[in-house]
Amino acid sequence: MEGSIAIAETVRLCRPQVISAYPITPQTHIVEGLASIVADGRLDAEYICVESEFSALSACIGASAAGSRVYSATTSQGLALMAEVVFNSAGMRLPIVMGIANRAISAPLSIWNDQQDSIMMRDSGWIQLYAEDNQEAIDMHILAYKVCEDHDILLPAFVCFDGFILSHVYEPIDLPSQELVDTFLGPFNPYQKLDVNDPISLGMYATPEYYLEFRYEHDKAVHRAAEALKKYGKEFGEVFGRDYSELVVGYKLEDAETAIVAMGSICGTVKDAIDEMRADGKKVGLLNLRCFRPFPSTDVAKALAHVNTIAVLDKNVSLGAKGAVAIEIKEACYGSNIPVYDYILGLGGRDVRKRDIKKIVELAEKGEGDMFYGLREEVL
């Protein structure tokens, strides 16, 4: 089925009580799918047709605080519009799960895929998971609820999947059964909620005497999420048959001399390119980052310790600096002396093919990197 519909059906299985989302390309099929599911009575939920993304996430805050499991989805401009609420909801430690159909950010306006939108929220205190294919996209939704709602974690999560490339593509999907999801997730058990029988004040303001400590606790929680993701990822494997106990996954990496690091759907292309390069005798491997926040520095350093060259594919750019993934990889590998080369590519939906991956490996091994890959010189 189409990626978006698979996600909508999976959200249905997770039984949110309130769905509050605003349509935006390329996430529209998800919210339309969910609206249809609710209208047909296949999910007993309140579907709020909010008037903007800003209100979409704000309504999620209210509903989650009142004691409901909630869902929203957005991308690009919508995510930027709700930026204030993104930080606010994380600081309020509400376990909201939001699908992000990764899309480039304006200006210039683009509806096509890159990962700038979720990447720019990396400081927000949300967990960030990146799906390689639609199976991962739906599995990560279920996993996200499990991790977020753990009373030791209490964080919201982005489940990121490349817009159009995954959201609009038809792939065979193993949609789990309602029984298995119910067993794995259970009903929503909020850590605290708005309740006249036990009143709390939620979202107070913090003076300089307290603010630092709140941020410290929040940061600790995001770091703890790494272990929670691994633990519940393993449990997910036992229940559903697909293991998510690792935050970084190597592909033909064990004996690789050159490693490609990437996130999201591009990994599929990279794996095919690697197979071809291996057939030609090149020792190349892939490190697939499933999780960007918390950043799995230790796992990354360990996985890449033995390689000679690292080529990072960044479908984003922190303008004036480098691609965000490369910056993190360099930080993780600090002290190892392995050269890390950054390739900014695929922005705004620019297609990345196997031959591009092979070219990048060539460039990296020649020591040429830290570039925008694939520039069309003729239009400059």
Partner 1 sequence: MVDRFIENFDCGHRACGGCGASAAVRMILKGAGKNTIVVSPTGCLEVFSTPYPETAWKTPWIHSLFENSSAVASGIEASLKKQGRLDKEKILVIGGDGATVDIGTLCISGAFERGHDFTYVCYDNEAYMNTGIQRSGATPYDADTTTSPAGVCSTGNNRPKKDLPQILVAHGSPYVATASMAYPMDLMKKVETAMNTKGPCYIQVHTPCCTGWGYDGAKTMEIGRMAVECGLWANYEIVNGELTSAKKVKRVPVDDYLKAQKRFRHLFKPVRNDAEIAKIQAIADKNAKKYGIDIE
Partner 2 sequence: MTLGIGCTARPGNSRNNKTGSWRVFYPVMDTEKCTKCGTCQLICPEGCINQNPDKTYSIDLDFCKGCGMCAEECPDKAKAIHMVKEEK
Query: In the set 1, 35, 38, 66, which binds partner 1 (CB under 8 A)?
Result: 66
**Is 234 exposed, middle or buried, given 0-12, 13-18 or 19+ CB atoms closer than 10 A?**
middle
194 binds, among partner 1, partner 2, none (CB under 5 to 8 A by kind): partner 1
Query: In the set 107, 201, 208, 280, which binds partner 2 (CB under 8 A)?
Result: 201
Q: DSSP label at 281?
A: T
For position 94 contacting partner 2 by CB under 8 A, the verdict is yes
- Name the one range near partner 2 by CB under 8 A: 2-10, 16-24, 91-99, 283-291: 91-99
Task: Convert residues 157-196 into a mask of x (bound to partner 2 by CB under 8 A) and - (unbound).
Answer: ----------------------------------xx----
Q: Give the DSSP H or E segment for 342.
A: strand 340-344
Sheet holding 309-314, edge to edge: 248-251, 284-289, 258-262, 309-314, 340-344, 371-372
For position 18 contacting partner 1 by CB under 8 A, the verdict is yes
Q: Give the DSSP H or E segment for 249.
A: strand 248-251
Which parts of 165-224 interact with partner 1 (CB under 8 A)? 194-196, 198-207, 210
For position 206 contacting partner 2 by CB under 8 A, the verdict is yes
- Report the alpha-carbon distance of residue 246 to residue 302 in Å, rounded: 13
Task: Convert residues 88-117 into a mask of x (bound to partner 1 by CB under 8 A) and - (unbound).
Answer: xx--x-------------------------
For position 148 contacting partner 1 by CB under 8 A, the verdict is no
75 binds, among partner 1, partner 2, none (CB under 5 to 8 A by kind): none
Residue 282: strand, helix, or coil:
coil
Query: In the set 27, 28, 64, 76, which binds partner 1 (CB under 8 A)?
Result: 64
Q: DSSP label at 348?
A: G
- Report the alpha-carbon distance of residue 170 to residue 168 in Å, rounded: 7
For position 208 contacting partner 2 by CB under 8 A, the verdict is no
* Contacts for 200 with CB less than 8 Å, ≥ 6 apart: 192, 194
Instruction: Give the β-pairing of 70-74 and 97-102.
Output: parallel
Query: What are the residues binding partner 1 (CB under 8 A)?
Result: 17-18, 20, 44-46, 48-52, 54-56, 58-68, 70, 84-85, 88-89, 92, 194-196, 198-207, 210
